[in-house]
Amino acid sequence: MSSHMNINKEGQNNRNTSQHNVVHGKTSANYNLNNKHRIKLTHSPQSETSAEEPEAKKLKLDPEENNKSRKPDGKRVRGQNKSRPHMKPTTYDDKQLCLSVIQENKKCFYGEKCKFFHDVAEYMANKPADVGERCYIYDTFGKCQYSLSCRFAKAHTSPDLKNVVNEELVKAREGRTVVKNSLDKDLQNRLRKRSVSFKKSAEYLKTISKDNKEKTEQQGNGESRKLFTVLIIIQYLFFSAVNNFYSYFSQSSLASSFKMKLLTVFCMVVTMASVVIGFLLDKLQVSEEKQNLVKTVGPLTDADIVRLRPCEKKQVHLSCPSESEPRPFCGNLPFRRVCKRFGADITCGEMAMCTNLLQGQQSEWALLKRHETEDLFGVQVEGCFPDTMTRCAELINNNTEVDFVDINSGCPIDLVYKKGGGCGLMTRSRKFEQIVRGMNYVLDVPLTVKIRTGVQEKCSIAHKLIPEMKKWGVSMITLHGRSREQRYTKLADWDYINTCSKLASPIPLFGNGDILSYEDAMKARETGVSGIMIARGALIKPWIFTEIKERRDWDISSGERLDILRDFTNYGLEHWGSDTRGLEKTRNFLLEWLSFLCRYIPVGLLERVPQRINERPPYYMGRDYLESLMASQHVGDWVKISEMLLGPVPKNFNFLPKHKANAYK
């Protein structure tokens, strides 16, 4: 008898989706899903609820286990853990080896006051046990820069506790820059002292101030004309009153001496009033004449000849079928390398705050780093003011190697939106225009923009903005088929994306939303978009790029998926370091990624292919122990997978997942 199990839509409150019960390869109901027992996917409309399982197949959960992910009233815990604990870099490695010892033959700047180890033997006695026998950094580059502090130090440590170097590998890689766009120390100091020159930005910002001045003058012209009319009326009434007063005064029976004094004062007042009114009228006439003068363009200068025209800028070649857009936590350099290996054509860095880049923050500049394997790479920036965004664009243009710069005006995060950035720019069209024109003015590479359908769910405004963006000089537009209010719930509106792609022509428009298989990608390409951008789909299954290029569903095994995770950890150790600090940082990013990877359902277990991105499976057991472990939504099981690759966690290890539904106490 076959076992039919329905997959519930994301966001529905079904008792079977409250907590995944795979622990140590066991489930509370021992279903062995082989070729006869497959998971049945029911893709019902969003408003309908999924049909319940047959009575005989309902799982009996332990009450304590079931209540861990539920509120006191029985409802499932939802939303994000916004106040997650921030672990300091020194949390897991409070006693480190001094950098002077690691780099060898260098004197310690702090001398006896140094808090780190200088005695190698003492450090090795207190150091945590090594994780493995082979060091990926040493095997790849011939030298591990972390020396004895490396958690794989046995692979490159001599009996006399010296760091071993493979000279052949070092010479073979000599002169190669593996990672580009690192923050130079000199540039960082100049940014902190605010001594970096932004000449082009200053030129553009002057034009903005001139435009604002002209606008105020134009507004003032209307007011001046009104004032001119009022002054003429006042002048007419004033002289009429003077004539009437003088005729009355001459016929009055006052004393002659008093009459003379009063007449003198009266003449002085009349004279002063006449002078003031005449002066105001002359000034208004002169200003109006100046406004009517024809403005000349001026002589042709070298700057006009040297400056690149929009058509001369380097273009992004969009002959590729897909684009990978990394997301926070998983959109890091090691993850992009994994996507690149599976066939991603364009990679883009995580969203960086323009103000943090201008302040020279090392953590923000790390988001701009580019690996040598990324042949078409862009950076993504966020900001809400023309001055900071223009300066940031000039800074990136002069100090990094990128193929395009992207403005993220689709970020729905409250912190960004409330300041006027992200989706907030879509409702501030004047500022948006100034930002786009300013960045285009200072950049030598194409400028792209990422937007959503709008801010409110039932009030789309992207179709109004896109024709304006064409005038502003945008090279490419990426449209996410949801509004800010929707975030990532409900299905993306590809019909609306299709409408917008026609409005954007001839500018390329990339569509984004709900791509999890090559069938989804093919349907998306039928809408007329120039390309597709894959975000969550790449986090759930990074091999989606291979599926799209080869047009097939890949029934990837658990062993192959573990190899992908192993590659990610190796890339992470190379990027963040193979010492304790770098290893635990790699583990943290791996656990964040596993919160997406656990949503994948193996193709061999599905009764209906393909899986949809908004569907969630019921409790099931995989075809082997590792597949069951990878399907678990328990944080404890994610930690077990990380221990397979990065060794046991420290005693004081703490990790709280991003989503409350996956949390446990």
Q: Phi/psi of residue 356, each to 5°?
A: -70, -35
More confident residue, 91 or 524: 524
Q: What whole-number distance in Å separates Cα of residue 534 and Cα of residue 8?
A: 23
Q: Are strands 447-452 and 476-480 parallel, antiparallel or unpaired?
A: parallel
Q: What whole-number distance in Å separates Cα of residue 601 and Cα of residue 630?
A: 10
Among the three residues 519, 554, 589, which one is the final residue of a domain in this structure?
Answer: 554
- Report yes or no on 271 lying in a domain: no
In a 3-state reduction of DSSP, which class is residue 647?
A: coil
Which neighbouring-strand residues pair with 370? 180
Contacts 24+ apart (CB under 8 A), 606-609: 606/38, 606/39, 606/41, 607/4, 607/38, 607/39, 607/40, 607/41, 608/40, 608/41, 609/517, 609/553
Which neighbouring-strand residues pair with 509? 477
CB-side neighbour CA atoms (13 Å) of 34 = 3
Q: What is the pLDDT of residues 493-504, one digit of tens each?
A: 999 999 999 999
Task: Tell me what pLDDT residue 108 has.
Answer: 86
Q: What whole-number distance in Å separates Cα of residue 123 and Cα of residue 87?
A: 23
In the block, residue with structure tokens 């997406």: 596
In a 3-state reduction of DSSP, which class is residue 527?
A: coil
- Report yes or no on 299 lying in a domain: no
- Report yes or no on 528 lying in a domain: yes
Q: What whole-number distance in Å separates Cα of residue 654 and Cα of residue 662?
A: 14
Q: What whole-number distance in Å separates Cα of residue 565 and Cα of residue 563?
A: 5
Q: What is the pLDDT of residues 97-132, one digit of tens each?
A: 888 888 877 788 888 888 888 888 888 888 889 999
Among the three residues 193, 218, 250, which one is the final residue of a domain in this structure?
Answer: 193
- Report yes or no on 270 lying in a domain: no
- Amino acid at site 413: I
Q: What whole-number distance in Å separates Cα of residue 306 and Cα of residue 136?
A: 48
User: Quick one: which of 43, 53, 45, 41 has its CA closest to 15?
Assistant: 53
Q: Which two tokens stand for residue 15?
A: 């008792």
Q: Which of 135, 411, 423, 598 is catalytic?
A: 411
More confident residue, 219 or 555: 555
Q: What whole-number distance in Å separates Cα of residue 250 and Cα of residue 253?
A: 8
Q: Which residues contact 592 (CB under 8 A, 6 or more apart)?
A: 329, 330, 657, 658
Among the residue ranges 27-31, 158-162, 553-557, the one predicted with the least confidence is 27-31
Tell me how far CA of residue 428 lies from CA of 12, 284, 323, 456, in angstroms. 35, 35, 28, 15
DSSP string, 240-285: HHHHHHHHHHHHS---HHHHHHHHHHHHHHHHHHHHHHHHHHHHHH
- Report yes or no on 232 lying in a domain: no
| E-assigned strand segments in 354-437 | 370-371, 377-382, 404-409
Q: What whole-number distance in Å separates Cα of residue 319 and Cα of residue 463?
A: 25
144 in catalytic set = no
pLDDT at 2 over 60: no
The mean of the pLDDT values for the chain is 79
Q: Distance from first CA to last CA of the chain, Å, rounded? A: 38
- Report yes or no on 127 lying in a domain: yes
Q: What is the pLDDT of residues 322-348, one digit of tens each?
A: 444 333 334 789 999 999 999 898 999
In the block, residue with structure tokens 């409408």: 499
Q: Which two tokens stand for residue 343?
A: 């066939």
Q: What is the pLDDT of residues 477-491, one digit of tens each?
A: 999 999 998 887 788
Q: What whole-number distance in Å separates Cα of residue 111 and Cα of residue 114?
A: 6
More confident residue, 536 or 241: 536
Q: What is the pLDDT of residues 13-52, one digit of tens each?
A: 343 333 333 333 333 333 344 444 456 554 434 333 333 4
pLDDT at 286 over 70: no
Q: Which two tokens stand for residue 150?
A: 């490396």
Q: What whole-number distance in Å separates Cα of residue 501 and Cα of residue 463?
A: 9
Q: What is the pLDDT of residues 249-281, one digit of tens each?
A: 666 665 566 666 666 766 777 677 766 766 666
Contact 561, 630 (CB under 8 A): yes
Q: Percentage of residues in the chain with pLDDT exceeding 70?
A: 69
User: Quick one: which of 390, 397, 461 has its CA closest to 425?
Assistant: 461
pLDDT at 613 over 60: yes
15 dihedral zone (left: phi>0; alpha: psi -120 to 50; beta): alpha
| Residue 638 exposed, middle or buried by CB count within 10 Å (0-12, 13-18, 19+) | buried
Among the three residues 147, 169, 193, which one is the final residue of a domain in this structure?
Answer: 193
Q: What whole-number distance in Å separates Cα of residue 211 and Cα of residue 501?
A: 32
Q: What whole-number distance in Å separates Cα of residue 347 and Cα of residue 367?
A: 12
In a 3-state reduction of DSSP, which class is residue 606?
A: strand
More confident residue, 653 or 658: 653
User: Quick one: which of 385, 444, 360 has its CA closest to 187?
Assistant: 360
User: Quick one: which of 72, 109, 115 has its CA closest to 95?
Assistant: 115
In the block, residue with structure tokens 């490419």: 476
Q: Which two tokens stand for residue 42?
A: 């029911």
Task: Tell me what pLDDT residue 363 has.
Answer: 92
Q: Which two tokens stand for residue 173?
A: 């890689």
Q: How many domains does the chain have?
A: 2
| Structural domain harbouring 109 | 99-193
- Amino acid at site 213: K
Residue 540: give its domain's CATH number.
Answer: 3.20.20.70
Tell me how far CA of residue 522 lies from CA of 419, 453, 478, 551, 610, in angstroms. 38, 22, 18, 9, 13
Q: What whole-number distance in Å separates Cα of residue 116 and Cα of residue 203?
A: 50
Q: How many helices (H) and strands (E) does the chain have?
A: 24, 12
- Report yes or no on 380 lying in a domain: yes
Tell me how far CA of residue 648 lies from CA of 97, 128, 355, 580, 633, in angstroms. 21, 10, 39, 12, 20
- Report yes or no on 151 lying in a domain: yes
Element (DSSP H or E) covering residue 549: helix 544-550
